[in-house]
Amino acid sequence: MFVLDGQRYALPLPAVERVVRAVEVTVLPEAPPIVIGVINIQGRVVPVVDLRKRFHLPERAVDPEDHFIVARSSTGVVALPVDEAEGLVRDLGGERVAAAEIVPELNYVDQVFLMGPDMVFVLAIDTVLTDEEELVLADSLLSADVACD
């Protein structure tokens, strides 16, 4: 579970590889706007996807106190900058609702847990990048001669 702009989100546990402290992001020319650059994690080049842009939250620079959640999607590994990583939660409890029942156009969220007055949005990691963004990212990595895992 993690926090972005005061809102709680979660990723399915099998998708999470690790949580790391924020590091400097290297700009990747010609990357899609949602990709703010790449980072090096133990010799692996990992694209950094800005969920704030995806969810239309106020932009802000990555702070040294932030974390990156390194997650696996069906197309590769991405780093997601988050304000705070809250840790592992095996059971969110509360009522589980399909995201489409709340907001039909909410493509990047798989389900929502209603926990009293709070909601936790569970990301659909495979849809964080659109097919077009995936192609542009692959091209920008090739243009920069960077191998991405």
- The structural domains of the chain, ordered by start, are 2-138 (2.40.50.180)
Which parts of the chain have pLDDT scores under 50?
Answer: none
* Count of other CB atoms within 10 angstroms of residue 64: 8
Q: Which pLDDT does position 148 carry in this prediction? A: 53
Is the separation of the CB atoms in 14 and 123 below 8 Å? Answer: no
Tell me the two tokens of residue 59: 């932009």
pTM above 0.75, yes or no: yes
User: Is 107 within 8 Å of 54 (Cβ atoms)?
Assistant: no
Token code pair at residue 87: 């840790």
Q: How far is CA 63 from the centre of its chain?
A: 16
Q: Look-up: residue for tokens 């620079």?
A: 61
pLDDT at 34: 94
